[in-house]
């Protein structure tokens, strides 16, 4: 509890220091992917297609909070269960992810942002043999966004949401 209070106090103090600077308060982004964009983290499966959306809030210049959601159409692993087929190793299945993300914005200039992030969330769908949701991490060692209101972005990452790269477009409020 003490760490939480200290962290909250630091964030509030940082927000007062950076109030004079223009902040990008809210942004939304969407990205899609083709084969291989989510590989090997769920039963050795390979994704055929992924659609990922994200809402991000930047309370201070150096920190952003995000909520990321995705849906993946994938080839299941040997131990996966699909109720459509009622057998292990079915031909296709869907996974849905929802993750809370924390980003450190380590380079910000007008129109460009370079950041890193970490997140934790849940994956629903048919990822375990019994169909229960699983939990996992997402790590983004580097991401770059370019543009003012409308922007493009690209990220390298590993985890339950995507691997190895994600790219898309977004809008800042």
Residue 14 lies in a domain: no
Q: Model's pTM, two decimal places?
A: 0.70
Q: Is residue 123 part of a domain?
A: yes
Range of the domain at 92: 23-172
pLDDT tens-digit profile, the chain (173 residues):
677 677 677 666 555 544 445 565 799 998 876 544 444 444 445 566 778 899 999 988 889 999 999 887 766 555 555 555 545 555 556 778 889 999 999 998 888 999 999 999 887 765 444 555 678 888 999 999 999 889 999 998 888 787 788 889 999 98
The residues, any chain, with a CB within 8 Å of residue 125's CB and separated by 6 or more, are 93, 94, 95, 96, 133
Residue 155 lies in a domain: yes
Prior bond of 164 cis (ω within 30°): yes
CATH number for the domain that contains residue 41: 2.40.160.20
């Amino acid at each position: 509890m003490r760490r939480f209070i200290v962290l909250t106090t630091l964030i509030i103090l940082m927000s007062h220091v950076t109030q004079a600077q223009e902040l990008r308060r809210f942004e939304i982004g969407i990205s899609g992917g083709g084969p291989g964009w989510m590989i090997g983290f769920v039963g050795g499966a390979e994704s055929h297609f992924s659609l990922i959306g994200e809402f991000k809030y930047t309370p201070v210049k150096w920190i952003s909070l995000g909520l990321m959601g995705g849906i993946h159409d994938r080839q299941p692993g040997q131990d996966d269960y699909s109720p459509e087929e009622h057998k292990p190793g079915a031909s296709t299945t869907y996974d849905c992810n929802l993750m809370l993300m924390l980003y450190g914005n380590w380079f910000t200039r007008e129109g460009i942002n370079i950041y890193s992030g970490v997140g934790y969330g849940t994956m629903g769908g048919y990822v375990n043999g019994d169909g229960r949701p699983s939990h996992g991490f997402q790590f983004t060692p580097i991401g770059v966004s370019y543009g003012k209101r409308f922007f493009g972005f690209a990220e390298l990452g590993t985890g339950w949401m995507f691997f190895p790269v994600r790219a898309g477009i977004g809008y800042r409020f």
